[in-house]
């Protein structure tokens, strides 16, 4: 599904990604681990089209990212984003926050998705009325509402306790078994072990494939 070829990226004179090549198949659950500054977030930003690399190529189902004519349309049709911070809007309800990603979605679809995440009773709540773990699950629902082919999650459990972190990764595992490709950057090696494959980054390179 995603092919990375000789990917390199600089921030000024600092090399953040150093000649990475990798193939990621459809439905795989991939974890990238590594210390802060190892290149995890930069790699996810490039793969998710948020950042243009200095050199190298990324392909999505044989389509080179440089050939994407309408990047917004491509993202809406193919990609879901989950970040460490939920980025919910406090003056909008849970339902309204999710609808920002898809204004045409029906309320029943939102209810069903929230039910899958165990938070269907929060649909009319505001972000400041629910817990941090619940807010993150709302952010996940927002990322899933368009049924993306790939979900990119950059430190998605960084602000969660161990119980809620485990719930999030179990959800990722469940989604991957249903065919969604999951690509996660995390510092938590124990959670990373729930993935099908783990790659460790060091100084912008894939230092080791653990599994």
Q: Which residues contact 53 (CB under 8 A, 6 or more apart)?
A: 7, 8, 9, 17, 46
Q: What is the pLDDT of residues 122-147, one digit of tens each?
A: 999 999 999 888 888 899 899 989 88
Q: Work out the average pLDDT over 81-100.
A: 91
Q: Domain ranges in the chain?
A: 2-209
Among 194, 103, 108, 175, which Cα is nearest to 142's? Answer: 103
> Three-state SS string across 134-160, please?
HHHHHHHHHHHCCCCCEEEEECCCCCC
Q: What is the mean pLDDT of residues 139-167?
A: 87
pLDDT computed for residue 211 by the predictor: 58
**What is the pLDDT, as a whole number, of residue 108?**
93
Tens-digit pLDDT profile for residues 186-211: 989 999 999 999 999 999 998 766 65
Task: Give the CATH architecture of domain 2-209.
Answer: 3-Layer(aba) Sandwich (3.40)
Grouping H, G, I as helix, E, B as strand and the rest as coil, residue 185 is strand
Does pLDDT of 15 surpass 90? yes
Is the pLDDT assigned to residue 93 strictly greater than 70?
Answer: yes
Query: Between the CA atoms of 53, 56, 58 and 63, what dihedral angle is there, to the nearest 10 degrees?
Result: 120
pLDDT band at 85 (very low <50, low <70, confident <90, very high): confident
């Amino acid at each position: 599904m995603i092919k990375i070829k000789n990917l390199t990226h600089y921030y000024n004179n600092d090399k953040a990604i150093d000649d990475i090549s990798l193939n990621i198949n459809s439905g795989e659950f991939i974890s990238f681990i590594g210390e802060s500054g190892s290149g995890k977030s930069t790699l996810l930003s490039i793969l998710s089209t948020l950042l243009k690399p200095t050199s190298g190529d990324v392909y999505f189902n044989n389509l080179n990212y440089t050939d994407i004519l309408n990047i917004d349309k491509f993202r809406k049709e193919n990609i879901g984003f989950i970040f460490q911070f939920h980025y919910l809007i406090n003056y909008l309800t849970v339902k309204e926050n999710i609808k920002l990603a898809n204004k045409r979605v029906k309320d029943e679809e939102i209810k069903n998705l929230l039910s899958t995440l165990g938070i269907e009773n929060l649909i009319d709540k505001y972000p400041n009325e629910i817990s941090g773990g619940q807010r993150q699950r709302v952010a996940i629902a927002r990322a899933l509402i368009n049924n993306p082919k790939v979900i990119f999650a950059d430190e998605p459990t960084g602000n969660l306790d161990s119980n809620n972190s485990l719930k999030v990764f179990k959800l990722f595992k469940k989604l991957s078994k249903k065919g969604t490709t999951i690509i996660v950057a995390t510092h938590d090696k124990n959670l990373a072990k729930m993935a099908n494959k783990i790659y460790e980054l060091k100084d912008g390179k894939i230092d080791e494939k653990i599994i």
